[in-house]
Amino acid sequence: MTKSVLIEKVAEKVEGLTRNQTEIVVDTVFDSIKKALMSGDKIEIRGFGNFRLKTRNPRKARNPKTGEAVEVPGKKVLYFKVGKALKEELNKQQ
């Protein structure tokens, strides 16, 4: 699902909002999630899941072509843990 499809679906569900107003709402939600993650907060949406950042330490790896040792810098990685209700719903459909 793309962002524009999400906006369309939300606009269909909520009466009284134009597509432009709905786009502002969706953008605000995404911006709020992004800002919270960037400040180190955990995002918990009950019944859906949790988003949080983890930090990977720098490490040494090998280039598979040459076998040469390479330094891999540390980085932040986004993790998502699915919520219980969503997990049950997804597994129920099989």
- Tell whether 47 and 92 lie within a shared domain: yes
pLDDT score at 41: 94
The tens digit of pLDDT for each residue in 44-90 reads 999 999 999 999 999 999 999 999 999 999 999 999 999 999 999 98
Domain ranges, residue 33:
1-41
**pTM of the predicted protein model:** 0.76
Where residue 79 sits, what CATH number does that domain have?
4.10.520.10
List strand residue ranges (DSSP E) for 1-94, in order.
43-45, 49-56, 59-62, 69-72, 75-82
Q: Does the pLDDT value for residue 94 go beyond 70?
A: no
- Structurally, how many domains does the chain consist of? 2
Q: Are 69 and 49 in contact (CB under 8 A)?
A: no
- Tell whether 28 and 60 lie within a shared domain: no
- Tell whether 64 and 23 lie within a shared domain: no
